[in-house]
């Protein structure tokens, strides 16, 4: 069994041995670039962990793991255009460093390369099932992104709709990453399904935590500007929970803040946080997160392998879900 | 054996029976929209013809044929953004009727749906090979589009580079459409390869003809504004051939016209045509087309099935390549 750093090393080596072609340079250079922006490589690691629960020769799952990572980066490249985001992890986004045409076309070819690596999967008898999972989840990620886009112009968004959006946009890919690892190891359907559910539920918990950290994170650890969601008037779970549960006066106050610009950003963040605080929103959100987190680990418990094989996966996901804020 | 209208009917029925989902509407409506803009559906018809050369129950190839059509429409949707094209076949393009975000995301999901229909292919034992062909050609189409984008800002483009660009951007998909039909019919590798080459070479001939028709087509039959390439200063094969073979004075004259706007469009088209005419450019280009066309049909001749099985495919492609101009 390999620990997380060892799995990440394997992924880094695989990535080095399988670079994009050099020509046409304008097409492939941005694909290499976005992969160097320092993501956690959580998704391909999950695929390898999903495999290692059942089998030792984890190299067999590397190509599928890399397909998952390429798919994730394709979706980032296109989402950054749609969000008009100038920066990703402090570096220029592809459409900003190059242009929109480049970000569209390089993203397209990156998605196609995801399928290329999927097709290279060690055992061809796994291919139909892997392709089915991948196609389903790729479709869902697009649907989740569309819901996110739709929410921006929608007057009211319900909490169930919001949870469904983060599930599709983010969580299902974490589930599928694990499930595809399990399929590579030819695991019984039932265990692969438990792993999918584990990833999906943990992914929802992770996104809820992300909303919380954006407003309540330790600026030294969070890596993004704390309060960014408030300044962008984003309809986060904190906003939706406030609209649903806060006093009438506070609902009105929040709505007013969300219609103002950010002339005085510190004042705005402090004021909105005060609304959240006096309505116990962070506690309510933390409970919501905990519900998904607990449901997730029940699914991992149900996977039929000895507990010691689960420890790397269990600890990795537990660490991610207990970031301080 | 079915004739072309019968094959197109089958494709139309399949498309009706396999609509995109209705939700999220903003994601899927543009996918349905672009499919109604009245393309010739040549590519899926080629897949069915590639199958029918060898086997009768052509329904088995419909899902793969539809994958090819969806891939083609995905590429149109994204190319239209890159080309800032307001119209396609006289109707608003997707990014124009909706917006760029929509055209990116709907294009993405359409590409994923192409893979979904590919994965539904009747015989799972064909899947690895179909996926390999599809992935290769999808990559090449992106590379061809990148070359086309690069050419816009490049000072000089060679004729071999131009031919390579149209081969990648357009012709290989015609070849692959035929080849995948043959693979669905479990044809010997050699015949599938001849069919690929037939489609690829005919596709190059077809694109050369397209350049010619843009300047010399019969306005009543061509369906686009004749002279559009001249007015957009596009580096077509006519331009490149002129730069390579014309007198020094005419080269300079063409270069000057290509740096002017189109204040007086009729004057500009007439002047550039006159340059082409006195350097026998249309004749040279027609010869170039003929070379590829002849090479194409030699490949069809080499396919090892009785001549009568080839007639639908032969006549369809011959008709396309002999449009009057």
ipTM: 0.96
Distance from CA of B35 to the nearest CA of A (A): 19
pLDDT tens digits along A123-132: 788 999 999 9
- Both tokens of residue A164? 């469904």
Q: What's the mean pLDDT in A55-62?
A: 96
Task: Supply the pTM of this predicted model.
Answer: 0.96
Distance from CA of B232 to the nearest CA of A (A): 19
Q: What's the pLDDT at B115? A: 98
Q: What's the mean pLDDT in B64-79?
A: 98
- Mean pLDDT over the full length of chain A: 95
Residues of A in contact with B124 (CB under 8 A): 128
Q: Do A142 and B105 touch (CB under 8 A)?
A: yes
CATH of the structural domain B1-187, one choice from 1.10.3720.10, 1.20.1260.10, 2.60.120.200, 1.10.600.10: 1.10.600.10
Q: Which of B84, B142, B154 to mutate to test the interface with A (most CBs of A within 10 A)?
A: B142
The helix (H) or strand (E) run that includes residue A213 is helix A189-216
The CATH H-level superfamily of B189-325 is: Farnesyl Diphosphate Synthase (1.10.600.10)
The helix (H) or strand (E) run that includes residue A301 is helix A281-302
Q: What's the pLDDT at B211? A: 94
Q: What's the mean pLDDT in A32-59?
A: 95
Q: What's the mean pLDDT in A29-41?
A: 94
Q: What's the pLDDT at A121? A: 80
> Which of the pair, A16 or A226, is modelled with greater confidence?
A16
- The full set of domain ranges for chain A reads 1-185, 188-325
> How many angstroms separate the Cα of B196 from the Cα of each of A264, B292, B299?
64, 14, 9
Q: How confident is the model at residue B220 (pLDDT cuts 50, 70, 90)?
A: confident
Q: Is A48 helix (H, G, I), strand (E, B) or coil?
A: helix
Q: Is A92 exposed, middle or buried (0-12, 13-18, 19+ CB in 10 A)?
A: middle
Q: How confident is the model at residue B314 (pLDDT cuts 50, 70, 90)?
A: very high
Q: How confident is the model at residue A64 (pLDDT cuts 50, 70, 90)?
A: very high
Residues of B in contact with A109 (CB under 8 A): 139, 142-143
Q: Do B111 and A113 touch (CB under 8 A)?
A: no
Cβ-contact B80, B93 below 8 angstroms? yes
Is the per-residue pLDDT at A183 higher than 90?
yes
pLDDT tens digits along A197-255: 999 999 999 999 999 999 998 877 766 677 889 999 999 999 999 999 999 999 999 99
Cβ-contact A180, A49 below 8 angstroms? no
Which residue, B210, B220, B209, B215, is CA-closest to B268? B215
pLDDT tens digits along B98-112: 999 999 999 999 999
Is the per-residue pLDDT at B325 higher than 70?
no
Give residues 18 to 37 of A whose Cβ lies within 8 Å of B: 24, 26-27
> Which of the pair, A222 or A178, is modelled with greater confidence?
A178
Neighbour count for residue B240 (Cβ, 10 Å):
22
Which residue, A185, A167, A128, is CA-closest to A303? A185
Q: What's the pLDDT at B223? A: 64
The CATH class of A1-185 is mainly alpha
Neighbour count for residue A259 (Cβ, 10 Å):
8
Is the per-residue pLDDT at A116 higher than 50?
yes
Q: How confident is the model at residue B123 (pLDDT cuts 50, 70, 90)?
A: confident
Cα angle for residues A308, A185, A48 (degrees, 5° grid): 65
Lowest mean pLDDT among A14-23, A148-157, B220-229, B235-244: B220-229
The CATH class of A188-325 is mainly alpha
Scanning every residue of chain B, which has its alpha carbon at the shortest distance from the alpha carbon of A130?
A: B119
Residues of B in contact with A139 (CB under 8 A): 109, 112-113, 116
Same fold, B1-187 and B189-325: yes
Distance from CA of A145 to the nearest CA of B (A): 8
Q: How confident is the model at residue B222 (pLDDT cuts 50, 70, 90)?
A: low
Is the per-residue pLDDT at A101 higher than 60?
yes
Q: What's the pLDDT at B127? A: 93
Q: Does B143 touch chain A (CB under 8 A)?
A: yes
Q: What are phi and psi of A187, to 5 degrees?
A: -80, 150
Is the per-residue pLDDT at A325 higher than 50?
no
Is the per-residue pLDDT at B179 higher than 70?
yes
Q: What's the pLDDT at A219? A: 76
Q: Does A212 touch chain B (CB under 8 A)?
A: no
Q: pLDDT > 90: what percent of chain B?
A: 90
């Amino acid at each position: 069994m390999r620990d997380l750093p060892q799995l990440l090393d394997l992924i880094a080596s695989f990535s080095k041995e399988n670079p994009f072609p050099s020509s046409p340079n304008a097409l492939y250079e941005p694909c290499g670039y976005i992969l160097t922006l320092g993501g956690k490589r959580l998704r391909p690691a999950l695929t390898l962990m999903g495999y290692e629960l059942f089998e030792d020769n984890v190299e067999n799952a590397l190509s599928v793991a890399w397909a998952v990572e390429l798919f994730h980066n394709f979706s980032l490249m296109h989402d950054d255009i749609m969000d008009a985001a100038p920066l990703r992890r402090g570096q220029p986004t592809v459409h900003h460093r190059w242009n929109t045409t480049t970000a569209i076309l390089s993203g397209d070819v990156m998605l196609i390369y995801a399928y290329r690596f999927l097709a290279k999967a060690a055992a061809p008898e796994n291919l139909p099932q892997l392709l089915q999972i991948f196609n389903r989840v790729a479709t869902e990620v697009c649907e989740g992104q569309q819901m996110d886009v739709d929410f921006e112009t929608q007057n009211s968004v319900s909490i169930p709709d919001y949870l469904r959006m983060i599930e599709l946009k983010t969580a299902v890919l974490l589930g599928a990453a694990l499930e595809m690892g399990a399929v590579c190891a030819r695991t019984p359907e039932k265990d692969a399904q438990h792993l999918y559910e584990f990833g999906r539920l943990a992914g929802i918990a992770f996104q809820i935590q992300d909303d919380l950290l954006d407003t309540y994170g330790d600026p030294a650890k969070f890596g993004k500007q704390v309060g960014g969601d408030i300044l962008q008037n984003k309809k986060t779970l904190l906003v939706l929970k406030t609209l649903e549960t806060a006093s009438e006066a506070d609902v009105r106050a929040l709505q007013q803040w969300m219609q103002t610009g950010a002339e005085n950003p510190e004042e705005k963040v402090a004021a909105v946080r005060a609304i959240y605080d006096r309505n116990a929103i962070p506690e309510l959100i933390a409970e919501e997160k905990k519900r998904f987190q607990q449901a997730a680990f029940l699914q991992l418990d149900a996977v039929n392998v000895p507990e010691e094989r689960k420890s790397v996966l269990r600890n990795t996901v537990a660490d991610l879900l207990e970031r301080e804020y």
